Amino acid sequence: MQTTYIETQTVSFQDFKNQILADYKLGRISREMSYMARREVLTGKAKFGIVGDGKELPQLAMAKVFRNGDFRSGYYRDQTFALAVGALSVESFFAQLYADTSVEREPASAGRQMNGHFATRSLNEDGTWKDLTQIKNISSDISPTAGQMPRLLGLAQASKVYKSVKFHGSDKFSNNGNEVAFGTIGDASSAEGHFWETLNAACALQVPMILSIWDDGYGISVPTHDQRAKEDMAEMLSGFQRKEGKTEGCEIIQVKAWDYPALLDAYARAEHFARTESVPVVIHVTDVTQPQGHSTSGSHERYKSEERLKWEADFDGLEKFKEWILNYSIEIEGKEEILATVEELENIEKEAKKIAKDGQKKAWENYRNSIEVLKNEVLPLVENLKSQNSEVEAELQKFGSLISYAKKDIFSLMRKVLLLTRTHQSSERQWLASKYQQLLAQEKDNYSSHLYSESEWKSTNVKEVKPIYSENSEMVDGRVVVRNNFDKIFEKYPETLVFGEDAGNIGDVNQGLEGLQEKYGKVRVADTGIREATILGQGIGMAMRGLRPIAEIQYLDYILYCLQGISDDLATLHYRTKGGQKAPVIIRTRGHRLEGIWHSGSPMAGIINLVKGVNVLVPRNLTKAAGFYNTMLQSDEPAIIVETLNGYRLKEKQPDNLGEFTVQVGIIEVTKEGKDVTLVTYGSTWRLVMEAAEELEKLGISAEVIDIQSLIPFDISYEIAESVKKTNRLVIIDEDVEGGTSAFILQQIVEKQKAFRYLDSAPLTIAANDHRPAYASDGDYFSKPSVDDMVEKIYAVFHEANPSQFPKI
């Protein structure tokens, strides 16, 4: 087991002195980076700047107790910490400020995130995991305030899980659960619900977590007294303080941001509690200053009084640190020893400025050189076309008059010239067109790659394994199929665990996990409180550390509580790190076709438009759902799997190859062949569509029924267009609101698959009313498409086409 900082601090005076001066130097380098970043924005070389000046000392102290294998989930101002743990260089800081798209120069996001958003790379280029126990890990930052908190819970919980869960390769993710998860947040963001939900859950679960609150007294311009119940955050949190002998609550430590020795002591004690006792710790860091204000978007002089600004200057952490260094002396063997003279510190400050300036200069040169290379490839090819159109020369002159140019200006020039010369199919024009396509492919990789996995484990690579049935296959309730499949999953994948409201003791509200907690234990099959945002966060954090969590959200309607985290964190993780991090969490939920405003289960349009980057799978029964679980556990992508809420008691034949059969992601299934019209649907509505199709047969209309199965990705083989090519008519039937998921499906089929070429009638969508269903079956009948609605509306399509054969009803 790794020792803690508090246990290893026997050093010589010279070593102590070297540590202090190294901290001062790094703090000064970070401060100079902050100053220069603001100047780079204000002079137009960068778009926006948000920096960490004023927070240097607490971050230096935090870095001292941050070990290999630990994780940080933090606030976008932790540049000093990132520098101190080797996750950031001066050059990579400025490369991010300039949005350099090179992974080598800007490894956190390859220019996809604004500055101050830090990350380490957990994955090799082929998508395999690095040995995370040998790295100081930073989970990729996000901008939404407090959005980093739910993930922090999962990162911390993984350590607790690894104390008892072992599997082949688990030693790459944890050293017997000895890791600590560090979180950081601004005090204003502690007003967000995610903060309180995470702290509550961490205290309930007793996970090794250290949460630092940087309290600078403001949330942009809003002072503390307008943000929370009490100005003293530690006092407000006092109810969470654990009592002696109790295994609940957390430790709370308050310390001033300018008090270097007290900060070292605070973080040493925090690490001891978290690492040795698995206790969450909150460190409330007060008296934090912001020398340059909130960001480059404005000036803090607008809302801070002269007295406050003077206080901030007097209590600037680096100035107080300098004062402490100069006043420090100790007698050793009769000789007075000091840490540094004024001249020595001034030399350190000069050196820090030079290091920051050199790093900034190098980053700018690298960034501009990449654009110069692009320009030098393109301009000669454009010059060759001047003779083919007089306006080409004008476009070149416009480009040449630009004071500063970016990639977009070069691409715009190419596109305008190709448009101007469209009637000249010369070899010179072809050279430019080919270069444009080549460069466009590079920029597509720079800006649009890695939304989904590009490894061999991407979800669409998992092949279908059909269910096997025999004369001994039983007809059972649907919930038995999914339960017995989970049993096989837990047996096959020791890294898999499931958790959610009522998931453990009673085996979920629909008995899909019945008896599994008793068989596999409370760590792997666990109950949680009613806290959807942090249930998701548990899943994200644990998936980032090599586990395969299944996070259960009891009903699809309540996924809205964690939709922000799915959208802003989970769905963007692989993209915003350009393949540097992944979190293959499976979100298990249930919905569709039930009655009542909050259990009707169809907010699909909101989901699919907000979670691009996550697979959205909508099986029509529990056997299909089980197959999707088996598929996604072979993939390295996240997914939402929506089980049919009204299917748990319906009978299904149980496959003999539980845990093995799979359903292909992005592949539709034709469940009824037909020749007159293609009916497209998914989930529980499929049963009603099948019933409507049988009714239509009696009316002389042969309907082909297609179960989408997977909304994201959608019909990757374009099979629906082939069906429309045969039937020449298209109807989309959905229980979402008008213009909801049905609009997405229509766009995919008619526009993307170009099925409009085969239509003899206008495409029809049959959707629910815009309100949610009232309670009881009558509410469902009158609110969502019924079999009667489907039959009548589809029949009307044929009446319009052939009134004599299909007279009006």
Task: Name the strand (E) or helix (H) holding 704.
Answer: strand 703-707
- Of 117, 424, 450, 599, the active-site residue reads 599
How many C-beta atoms lie closer than 10 Å to residue 262's C-beta? 16
591 forms bridges with which residues in the sheet? Answer: 644
Instruction: Lay out the sheet containing 71-73: strands in order across.
Output: 137-138, 71-73, 181-186, 209-214, 281-286, 251-256
Strands (E), 208-367: 209-214, 218-219, 222-223, 251-256, 281-286, 329-332, 335-338
Residues 6 or more apart in contact with residue 245 via CB below 8 angstroms: none
What is the DSSP code string of 554-585?
SSGGGGGGGHHHIIIIIHHHHHHTTSS-----
DSSP H or E stretch at residue 781: helix 776-783
Helix or strand (DSSP H, E) at 636: none
Cα(401)–Cα(205) distance, rounded to whole angstroms? 62
- In the three-class reduction of DSSP (H, G, I as helix; E, B as strand; rest coil), residue 510 is classed as coil
Whether the Cβ atoms of residue 500 and residue 588 lie closer than 8 Å to each other:
yes
Q: How many other β-carbons are positioned within 10 Å of the β-carbon of residue 338?
A: 13
In 3D, which of 158, 131, 151 has the Cα closest to residue 74? 151
Question: Do residues 137 and 72 touch, judged by C-beta distance below 8 A?
Answer: yes
Encoded tokens for 749? 């089929």
Distance CA 355, CA 749 (A): 56
3-state secondary structure of 616: strand
Containing 724, the helix (H) or strand (E) segment is: helix 719-727
Helix (H, G, I), strand (E, B) or coil at 6: helix
- Give catalytic status of residue 450 as yes or no: no
250 pairs with which residues across the strands? 241
Helices (H), 226-341: 233-236, 260-271, 277, 306-314, 317-327
User: What count of residues does the chain have?
Assistant: 809
The first and second tokens of residue 44, run together, are 């137009």
User: What are the φ and ψ backbone dihedral angles of 379, each rounded to 5 degrees?
Assistant: -55, -45
Q: Where in the sequence numbering do the catalytic residues fall?
A: 599
